[in-house]
Chain A
Amino acid sequence: MQSTNKDWYLASFEAFEKSLNGEMKSSFHGIRKEAIGRFAELGFPTTKNEEWKYTDVSPLTRLRFQPVLQYAGEGVSKKDIERFRLGIQDSHVLVCVNGHFSRELSAIGKIPAGVRLGGLAEEIRSGNQLVEQYLARKAKYENDSFTALSTAFLMDGIFVRVPDGVVVDRPIHVIFISQNQDTEVVVHPRTLVVAGKSSQAAFVESHVSLSSRPYFTNVVTEIVLGENAVVEYDKVQMDSTSAFHISTTHVYQERNSNFASNAITFGGLFVRNNITAVLDGEGSEATLNGLYLATGEQLVDNHTTIDHAKPHCPSHELYKGILAGKSRGVFNGKIFVRKEAQKTDAKQTNKNLVLSDEASIDTKPQLEIFADDVKCTHGATIGQLDDEALFYLRSRGVGLEKARDILIYAFASDVVDKIKVAEMRETLQAMLHDRLEQSRAFNKN
């Protein structure tokens, strides 16, 4: 059975290749062929694979998703985009429909000199040197089936370049829209962000959909931080509740750079987020935060990796999960400290609020330490709402449902409050509210 699922994608690749025509001769096509070759060898992971121990991908691989070979954003209007802006009034908006960049739907606005914001296809075509240097080089497809698939089918996506010393004041907001009224599709949203030396930018990546039919979105984002660069990365996942969302974010950091991510997961039926930060320069710092809310039959799996490759690097991690209904959560936090990485200071926390008897969470820290002078702490908690606090709120007149919501917001606020794009915080709280309402409606049915 496993092979037929794989064969579906191999056959899709042949159709994809044919659609490329002349582009097959480009140098990047060699990488695509290598990637599909690796996928052919790897196939899809099973639960025997340590990285997929708690998450069985067969519900995903069983389905026959159609690749989207060309831009088909006709059904998407500017008005649709407005409601996906997360309350951020003033941002550089870049839109991709089914993985294809749309200049018409984007509102890039005025950008500082030297900054490039736009589609990846044109950069590949024009032979952009940074694209050649980094694209598919940081997120390794050699040992990861999903990154291999993304790379094999790579056509378009988003390219962001912030030159040395440039500060981009307004957030760069990339909206990935999935649009599939007629068929079940697979899309491969792809992003490359290259932040130059001493540059600064906030990058928001959101995932939304305009239909409720199942689709598979296989996301790969590569972020490169030059020396002393400061980047905030907020990933807001709001796919429809019939979507399969697998994402891989790979962050590569040079000396004294500072990276902070906030991974917010609200949507999807089947969600797996991988994020890896490689601290490959002394004094670089990474903060990986996350908030996930799962209700109904959702599965949300977060795998984080911090690779301490050089000395004197602090890293911080705070992932908080809210699990309601019959949902299932997984958190796996790997901290890798290489022999050279003395004076590493790594802190990891995962806290979970389990709101129903039928919801569950598997949480696992994974420390692999090869240096001897390091500080690594980790902690995980799984709990319910505090009865004392609930009674206190109710004793002041607040009804039970509202009291529960207030405590859930409070739980989430640790993560939400750390997001620097201020306008987003309120939107996220409203979204949290909506999802909790939906969850209650689901439970009543």
Chain B
Amino acid sequence: MGVRKEEKGNGMLEIIDLHAEVDGKKILKGINLKVNLGEVHAIMGPNGSGKSTLAQVLAGRESYNVTNGQVLYDGQDLLDMSPDERARAGVFMAFQYPVEIPGVSNTYFLKAGLNAIRKHHGLEELDAMEFLKFVKEKAKFVNMDETLLSRPVNHGFSGGEKKRNEIYQMAVLEPKLAILDETDSGLDIDALRIVAEGINKLRSKNNSIIVVTHYQRILNYVVPDYVHVLLGGRIVRSGGKDLALQLEDKGYDWVKEEVEAVS
């Protein structure tokens, strides 16, 4: 299957037996996953398998209740940190449904975030001029329309613009761990290419990326090191990039059947 087994010992994220529920409904039922620095992992699964819940739990959404397990991020207890502490420590989630905030400009929003992160790392906060120069470079880098910068956060953006805005934010905030929650869904092929190109430009030896997706399509552009299949709140199968192609070919049913046959 071409699975690379070697442990590198530079663990960015380690999820151990994670259980979580929403409104009393059990969604995650024992997730185990290790992501090393420099790796791209794809987490695939059908609707309702728990993909987005996993992303939300990692980002710190309060309405998700962790009932068991542990998550280590860069050696720290991630679940003990508030959403903003996680972000300042380098965790980033690209939202499946980016939130509209009328009355707050994209630039102001990002400046508040970036400066909070810089302050956390003992760096000087950027003033308005420095920040503007910085974001303009980043906008160019990920092919973002500059006019979107002065507009209110996601307000009146098209679906594609919202997703590109997420990748743009990733470019500005330079996270160590990025979790992309269905960033590809709802995009036409041109928008998908631009988004994927942005992700590839940001991909490096110094960060890790988890691509949460329903479809294999984005993985043609963002080629993962590992692919995991999430079913019924558990990772039931892990493999290399070929696993994604198999899923594309045959759907999720064959995995389901195999899992059921074993249990």
Interface residues of A, Cβ cutoff 8 Å to B: 386, 388-389, 391-400, 402-403, 406-407, 409-411, 413-414
CB distance from B150 to the nearest CB of A (A): 14
Q: Which of B59, B93, B99 has the most CB of A within 10 A?
A: B99
7 interchain pairs (CB within 8 A)? Answer: A391-B99, A393-B109, A393-B113, A394-B82, A394-B87, A399-B84, A407-B104
* Chain B residues whose C-beta falls within 8 Å of the C-beta of A409 in the assembled complex: 103-104
Counting CB contacts under 8 A, is B136 at the interface?
no
Counting contact residues on chain B (CB < 8 A from A), the size range is 20 to 34
* Chain B residues whose C-beta falls within 8 Å of the C-beta of A413 in the assembled complex: 103
Asked if B101 and A396 sit within 8 Å, CB to CB, the answer is no
Q: Which of A392, A397, A402 has the most CB of B within 10 A?
A: A397
Asked if B104 and A397 sit within 8 Å, CB to CB, the answer is no
B 107-121 contacts with A by CB, 8 A: 108-110, 112-114, 116-117, 120
CB distance from B134 to the nearest CB of A (A): 15
Counting CB contacts under 8 A, is B233 at the interface?
no
Asked if A396 and B87 sit within 8 Å, CB to CB, the answer is yes
Asked if A396 and B103 sit within 8 Å, CB to CB, the answer is no
CB-CB nearest in chain B for A411 = B103
Asked if B99 and A392 sit within 8 Å, CB to CB, the answer is yes
Q: A396-B173, A406-B104, A410-B103 in contact; A391/B83 too (CB < 8 A)? A: yes
Q: A388-B99, A392-B95, A395-B60 in contact; A406/B83 too (CB < 8 A)? A: no
Docked Cα-Cα span, A270 to B159, in Å, equals 47
Count how many pairs of residues, one from A and one from B, have CB atoms less than 8 Å apart in the complex.
Answer: 78
* Chain B residues whose C-beta falls within 8 Å of the C-beta of A394 in the assembled complex: 60, 82-84, 87
* Chain B residues whose C-beta falls within 8 Å of the C-beta of A403 in the assembled complex: 84
Q: A391-B61, A392-B99 in contact; A402/B116 too (CB < 8 A)? A: yes
Neighbour of A396 across the interface among B62, B102, B110, B120, CB < 8 A: B110
Docked Cα-Cα span, A124 to B88, in Å, equals 65
Asked if A398 and B104 sit within 8 Å, CB to CB, the answer is no
Q: Is the interface of A mostly helix, strand, loop or mixed?
A: helix
- Known pairs A391-B83, A409-B103 / 4 extra A-B pairs, C-beta < 8 Å: A402-B112, A410-B101, A410-B103, A414-B103
Docked Cα-Cα span, A378 to B6, in Å, equals 66
Asked if B84 and A400 sit within 8 Å, CB to CB, the answer is yes
Docked Cα-Cα span, A406 to B108, in Å, equals 9
* Chain A residues whose C-beta falls within 8 Å of the C-beta of B110 in the assembled complex: 396
CB-CB nearest in chain A for B108 = A406
Counting CB contacts under 8 A, is B98 at the interface?
yes
Counting CB contacts under 8 A, is B213 at the interface?
no
Asked if B82 and A410 sit within 8 Å, CB to CB, the answer is no
Docked Cα-Cα span, A391 to B59, in Å, equals 9
Contact with A along B57-72 (1 / 0, CB 8 A): 0011110000000000
* Chain B residues whose C-beta falls within 8 Å of the C-beta of A414 in the assembled complex: 103
CB distance from A352 to the nearest CB of B (A): 16
* Chain A residues whose C-beta falls within 8 Å of the C-beta of B52 in the assembled complex: none
Counting CB contacts under 8 A, is B169 at the interface?
yes
